[in-house]
Amino acid sequence: MKREYPETPIPAVGAVIIHQGKVLLVKRAKDPARGYWSIPGGAIELGERAREAVKREVKEECGIEIEVGPVLEVVDSIHRDAEGKLRFHYVIVDFLAYPKGLGVCPSSDVEEARWFALEELEEIPLPSGTKELLKRVLSQGL
């Protein structure tokens, strides 16, 4: 499936992974969010269930297993190029999740992966909407 300049939206998943008041974020190595910190996740593969996809993506990007909780939100991630053409279009289902281990080992898809406290979120570049979601989740003490 062509991710850049797609013919249809691409279904994807994300994991808001919480442990002791901190959230696990990854620094993206590829577009559309290259250089930004975000929640781990990615595209759902053909024949894969969303909950299976989020477990796989977190394992691939961060090297840890997770317990998947409820859906937090569904996000339309639409990015256009300088000419206004649709460059990326993802429909992302974000799940709450909890780690089964803490030994994070980032993959080649991400530059870095680490745990952040709520107050640290103001200091890092995050995609629009992600900061609000993380503040909401962390402030609820989930």
pLDDT per residue as tens digits for the range 97-118: 999 988 888 877 788 999 999 8
pLDDT (0 to 100) of residue 19: 93
pLDDT band at 10 (very low <50, low <70, confident <90, very high): very high
Half-sphere exposure of 133 (CA within 13 A, CB side): 23
pLDDT at 33: 75
Range 14-32 average pLDDT: 91
Instruction: Identify the helix (H) or strand (E) that includes residue 130.
Output: helix 130-139
123 flagged as catalytic: no
pLDDT, tens digit (0-9, with 9 covering 90-100), for 51-70: 999 999 999 999 999 999 99
Contacts of 43 by beta carbon, 8 Å cutoff, 6+ apart = 1, 3, 10, 11, 12, 53, 90
Contacts of 62 by beta carbon, 8 Å cutoff, 6+ apart: 17, 24, 26, 40, 104, 105, 106, 107, 110, 113
Give yes or no for residue 2 having a pLDDT over 90: no
| Residues contacting residue 72 through CB under 8 Å, at least 6 positions apart | 16, 94, 95, 96, 133, 137
Q: Beta partners for 77?
A: 90
> How sure is the predictor about 142, in pLDDT bands with cuts at 50, 70 and 90?
low
Tokens of 115: 């745990």
pLDDT score at 73: 95
pLDDT higher than threshold 70 for residue 48:
yes
Q: Of 112, 119, 120, 122, which one is the catalytic site residue?
A: 112
Domains in the chain, CATH or no CATH each: 10-132+134-138 (3.90.79.10)
Q: Using the predicted structure, report yes or no on whether residue 128 has a pLDDT greater than 80.
A: no
Please state the rounded mean pLDDT for residues 106-135. Answer: 87
With H, G, I as helix, E, B as strand and everything else as coil, classify residue 35.
coil
